[in-house]
Amino acid sequence: MAEDFSAGWQLTESDPGVFSELLKRLGVPLVVDDLYSLDAESLAEHQPVRAFIFLFQWVQTHPDSMTGEYDRDFPGFFAHQVVNNACATLAVLNAIGNMPALEMGPQLKEMMEFSAGMDPQTTGMVITSSDWLREAHNALSPPSAISLDDPSMKKTAEEAYHFVVYMPHMGSIYELDGLNEHPIRHGSYDESGEGWTAKAREIIQQRIATYPPGQLQFNLLAVHDDPIPILQKQLSEAQAASNAVLAGQIAARLERENHKRQQWAFENSLRRHNHIGFIHALLTALAKAGKLDEAKENAKKALAERRAKRGDSMDED
């Protein structure tokens, strides 16, 4: 279980652009996309899918409710989460650490080689004590000049979110959760048809079914090969074969992928930017114009309406 401190690690947004940029900084040629469905048609565009990263609202569960079984002799890479806020990067590392022959940047490769053979707790300490990795993790987090957390206020379970990984390894589906003592083995899967993703779909749907009906605070991400180099090669081959129809289809998809990367880059630049000066100037201008109280009440009303639609409660200051 992670200690109650962050050791300089900041919260990470569950966003494909954030995870894809992190993978890029780690020198790994994979990208991440949002999934709104686990059906075969939705997954087809991202094949081959290497892993799923699942974000969920963390709640304490009884051991008897766990599906699968702990694999105390897990032969792959597995690290514990030893500090708060590091679960996103830890999920990424627990995933890519079990992908054979995966290309990695020199720093990541050196860390993986150094931690080989270590127990999960020590491996977690190696990861979270790595300055360069923490900087890569924090690079896309909002500036922390102002903390929105009151240290005197105890966080509730409803405020705790966590990332875990589901992926195939040595013929079985594994759940890699840095808060667990060992990886959870969910059994073998049929390699024909949809392959491992069909079994993973059942496991994730069972996990979601343990929450109250209508609970929507989940997010699922697919980790897969970067399609742009593949599409560029396919486009060249279609053009060389004078197949204008196929070339047009590939070019359209390539354009969508490039547009998506541009959008990610723009959104990530906003995440890195410190908006505190702008916010201060805006609040000052509203106060001087005598409109600050009105703006505050309108914002509180809008927030209450959004939370009412979700069925949340809101404590007012």
Catalytic positions, please?
87, 162
Tokens for 83, please give them: 């500090």
Please choose, from the candidates 79, 89, 76, the residue with its C-alpha nearest in 3D space to the C-alpha of residue 174.
Answer: 76
Residue 315 has a CB neighbour count (10 Å cut-off) of: 4
- Contact at 8 Å (CB) between 84 and 9? yes
The one-letter amino acid code at 291 reads: K
- Contact at 8 Å (CB) between 286 and 299? no
